[in-house]
Amino acid sequence: MSFSSDTKTELCQAPPGRLCCAQAEAYGVLLYCNKFDAQEVRVVTECGAFARRLPGLFQTAFQVAFDRMPEGEGKCIFSLHTPEKLQAISAVLGYDPGESVAHHINFGILEEEHCRTAFFRGAFLAGGSVTDPAKRYHLELATPHYSVSRELLTLLLEAGFTPKETTRKANYMAYFKQSGAIAHFLTAIGAPRAAETLRSAKAEKDLLGSINRKVNCDAANLDKTVEAAQEQIEAIQLLEAQGLLLSLPDKLKEAVDLRVAHPELTLAQLAELCDPPVSKSALNHRLRKLVELAGKART
């Protein structure tokens, strides 16, 4: 299964709870499902756990049973079209479908924090998805209702979340891109294991990134060391060819001997081999002096 499906399965393990929360969760499902109007409710899902949860949720919330239930495997389609059942739902949610031009969130149903959380959970189960954190970080809630999407943003902001919004084809979406925000949201709606999986993936990515940066940095430093050593050895060879090594001061002669004997060592390692040991800066000064002398000898 996908990470998104696993997350929804985790959300469905806990019962809806008190009646108000069951109604709030079912309300989220309705506003974020495939179709919700005066003629029909249609919920389509590929998540088996959500499909098993739906009938009991709607029975608890509205005392209605679906007119159509899934048949066979694949996508699960639930629908309600009996006028009496649709009216029962409208009565609980407090609106008249005959007078409503567009859906709006009835904030009166979501006054309590636990009801808002249940509403977010229903919206995610019906119209949400979350990307595998091993690939990237993205969670979205998509609905065909413009006003609902804008009003959900208000609810999320009041709950301490900071989503962004966009549109895709005929859907309006609230979404999160930061791993921390996604983990916070998943924990809040009842999926702490999915949130922990996300945090672990983030930590692993950060560790691998840190290792890669260090390896790249070490490789770059090694390249610089090799280039510097090559330049120093070429300078020494030029001075030797022109018979200038014998006239060098003892400290420069020692630098010549060490560099020729140990072309693979870093400045710090060579400095420790001096007798007595010197600082990296001091040895670097001596080697630079050799390069300068070779440069003058060329002219």
For residues 242 and 22, the model is more confident at 22
- pLDDT of residue 175 exceeding 70, the answer is yes
Nearest CA to 161 out of 142, 189, 136, 133 is that of 189
pLDDT exceeds cutoff 70 at 158: yes
| Local confidence band at 98 (pLDDT 50, 70, 90 cut-offs) | low
Intra-chain end-to-end CA distance of the chain, in Å: 73
Q: Which structure tokens are listed for 161?
A: 């979340």
pLDDT at 99: 67
- Confidence (pLDDT) at 219: 73
What is the residue whose two structure tokens read 């409208």?
A: 90
Residue whose structure tokens are 């390069």: 291
The answer on pLDDT for 20 being more than 80 is yes
More confident site: 253 or 116: 116
Q: What is the pLDDT of residue 296?
A: 84
- The span from the CA of 271 to the CA of 268, in Å, is 5
- Tell whether pTM > 0.85: no
Confidence of residue 97 (pLDDT cuts 50, 70, 90): low
Mean pLDDT of 240-264: 86
Per cent of the chain over pLDDT 90 is: 53
Average pLDDT over every residue of 39-54: 93
pLDDT in tens, 51-88: 999 999 999 999 999 999 887 677 899 999 999 999 99
Residue 62: per-residue pLDDT: 95
What are the angstrom distances between the C-alpha of 255 and each of 226, 240, 268?
Answer: 16, 14, 13
User: What is the model's pLDDT at position 262?
Assistant: 87
What integer pLDDT is reported at residue 26 of this predicted model?
A: 96
Q: What is the pLDDT of residue 100?
A: 63
> Quick one: pLDDT band at residue 27, thresholds 50, 70, 90?
very high
6-43 b/e (C-beta count within 10 Å ≥ 16 → b):
bbbbbbbeeebeeebbbbbbbbbbbbbbbebeeeebbb
Angle CA(44)–CA(88)–CA(122) in degrees, nearest 5? 40
What residues have CB less than 8 Å from 78, skipping those under 6 apart? 41, 42, 43, 44, 51, 54, 55, 66, 68, 69, 70
Distances 87 to 80, 103, 106 between C-alpha atoms, Å: 11, 15, 16
Distance from C-alpha of 236 to C-alpha of 250, rounded to nearest angstrom: 15
Token output for 148: 């609902």
Specify whether the CB–CB gap between 62 and 122 falls below 8 A.
no
pLDDT of residue 74: 75
